[in-house]
Amino acid sequence: MFVGNSHILPVNQNECSLKREMTKKIEDLKDIAKEAPMVPGVYVMKNRIGKVIYIGKAKNIRSRVKSYFQNSKDLPPKTRILVSFIHDIDFLTTNTEAEAFLLEASLIKKHKPKYNIRLKDDRAYPYLHISLSHDFPRLYLTRKMKGSPKEYFGPFTSAFAVRETIKFLNRSFQIRDCSDHEFKSRKRPCMTHQIGRCTAPCVDYVTKEEYGEDISLVLKFLKGQKKMIIKDLEKKMQAAAANERFEEAGRLRDSLKALEHILQKQDVVKTKAEDVDVLGFYGGKEGVVVECLHIRGGIMIGHQDHFFSAANIVEGDEDIRDTITAFVMQYYQENLIPDHLFTPVDLGPDLKKLTAEVLYERAHKEVKVRYPQEEAGKNLVLMAMQNAKEAYKKHIQKIDEQKVALIEIQKKLKLKQLPRRIECYDISHFQGDSTVASQVVYIDGLPAKEFYRSYKIKTVSGIDDFLAMKEVLSRRLKRTDQDDPDLLVVDGGKGQLKLAREALKECDREDIAICSLAKARTESNFSSDEVKASMERVFLPGRDNPVMFYPASKSFQILTGIRDEAHRFAITFHRKLRDKKFITSSLDEISGLGTIRKKKLIDAFGTIEAIAQASEEELASIVSRNVAKNILIYFNK
């Protein structure tokens, strides 16, 4: 690797050749940089196999890219490592710097470059959605926002909290909880109305205007206007009692009590801003945590932390302002954008203005981005900073635990290097049909879902897990778009291990460490209550006896965890293919049977044969009576 050292060391002929090759590559990259456009845009750096490893934005692309190759001694160590892997650079121009920010965030999400700060977990946080476009809106949980942001509230940290909030609001304000399909087909009130928890708009027991009054109370609650809700409910209760509508008055009284109870549990913060997100950070040699507090209507609804490894922080990203900006650009691609964003440091006039412009382009509203100076704002930032510090400690503790576990795996399996990247494979099929394989990857002991892969087995027919495993490993090891694993794990015993070794040999990759993990066995002679159970066993090439790990150890949990995850991933993919195969079948020929109804039938009965044997009553419980009759006619029943 060329890092621009001026002193001369003794080198052999191969090292000299490597240095000449590196020097020529740098000169070629300098020529590419000279041809870069002198306008705002994005530059995309690729390695020798064409994989994107870094994406950056710039006000002047040429000036920015040339800075990577001027004098390597002036570059930070991590940037020098990045430069050593660059083999080609692409340029994408934009009209403005704000557009460059937007494009960079989009490309980072798409390509997941190794050296960029990025939201690796790609978590989709739960939101509460109220379908205001419907005449009789309902509430439900969603993780994707479509349509007007005014219909969404959140994000919340817990899906459980969203569901409980929906239950409370439905119960307190008698909001319908049925699906739109059920709403359209309902002929008489359901049980929810009979127990006094819905006004039954599906059968016109309440007008659109009357139902809308309840929805307005829900919106006030979600916007934090609790005093207005209580006053409205009290007025309605008194009016109902005065007109001797005692049942309605009792319902309103119960709603008031429930409302007052839940409001007492909410964390109220002092801020003039209604919807505000507050950012905080804490960093060390392992990386940086960015914390985000979510305040809606003066109420703290949740917080989230995001850890960025130091390995992903290069060049300008070593400045916390760039880290904060990178987080904002990626996080608010899909999450709800607040009215106010409090930053933990002063971004400076240029960066603050640019961030606000990008958020405006996404939200189509003015977003005030600022470093708060008032006491209430400072206290919120301090709270975010403290939360970030605690989150950082937890992340480091977890990283340390993983390192200790990986060292134990290395020692017990006698590996030449620490197994930072572990890959596990599993086979799934149904009586030899629709055979698939899964590839699951753990990096530093944790799932790396961006590297998960599914394979359809092509050369093996019938039940033959051994040959299926051999095929998938051969296909994987011929690929160059992923790094080599430090350890390959196959699900099974000595037989699977033997076939996996043959695959490595055929690909000339016997240098890759491999093991197989066999599940625990239970034995019983049926004549006594005694049941014997064996431990999980790890088999190694050239060793007869398996390696055993203590079941409570972290190393054991990593190995069994990746095995179980590979099993889950394989079964999920297999079921998806099987369902697709079943759905695109003879059911297509039945009148009135669409994709959704076919899926419901398959979920309920499992196979086409079971559907064919079902009675009219059984079918009518899933689909309409007319469609049930069509199914019976088709199968000559």
How much is the pLDDT for 317?
46
Helices (H) and strands (E) in the chain, counts: 20, 21
Residue 416, classed as helix, strand or coil, is coil
Kindly state the tokens that stand for 162: 């969203």
Cα distances (angstroms) measured from residue 67 to each of 30, 39, 42, 64, 105: 10, 15, 15, 5, 22
How much is the pLDDT for 523?
52
Sign of CA dihedral 201, 205, 209, 213: negative
CA torsion, ordered 325, 327, 331, 333, to nearest 10 deg? 50
Helices 246-264 and 226-242: angle between axes, nearest 10 degrees:
160
Distance, CA of 27 to CA of 21 (rounded, Å): 10
> What's the length of the chain?
637
* DSSP type of residue 146: -
Q: Let me know if 141 is exposed, middle or buried by CB neighbors in 10 A (0-12, 13-18, 19+).
A: middle
Q: Are 335 and 155 in contact (CB under 8 A)?
A: yes
Model-wide pTM > 0.85: no
* DSSP type of residue 547: B
Kindly provide the b/e burial profile for residues 267-279, where b requires at least 16 CB atoms within 10 angstroms of the residue's own CB: eeeebebbbbbbb
Residues 6+ apart with CB under 8 A from 472: 425, 427, 437, 439, 455, 457
Work out the number of other CB atoms within 10 angstroms of the CB of residue 225: 17
Sign of CA dihedral 433, 474, 444, 386: negative
Q: Are 622 and 601 in contact (CB under 8 A)?
A: yes
Domains and CATH numbers, the chain: 13-111 (3.40.1440.10), 127-224 (no CATH), 275-394 (3.30.420.10), 421-427+439-457+466-563 (3.30.420.340), 584-634 (1.10.150.20)
Q: Are 97 and 354 in contact (CB under 8 A)?
A: yes
The amino acid sitting at 300 is M
Cα distances (angstroms) measured from residue 341 to each of 30, 108, 276, 434, 616: 40, 23, 6, 50, 59
Cα distances (angstroms) measured from residue 270 to each of 155, 299, 304, 508: 20, 9, 20, 65
Kindly state the tokens that stand for 454: 């599914």
Q: Let me know if 530 is exposed, middle or buried by CB neighbors in 10 A (0-12, 13-18, 19+).
A: exposed
Q: pLDDT under 70 in the chain at which residues?
A: 1-18, 72, 120-123, 224-227, 255-273, 311-318, 430-433, 520-534, 579-586, 637
How much is the pLDDT for 531?
44
Q: Where are the beta strands (DSSP E) in 265-362?
A: 267-268, 275-284, 287-296, 299-309, 340-342
Angle among Cα 309, 313, 314 to the nearest 5 degrees reads: 155
Residue 279, classed as helix, strand or coil, is strand
How much is the pLDDT for 540?
92
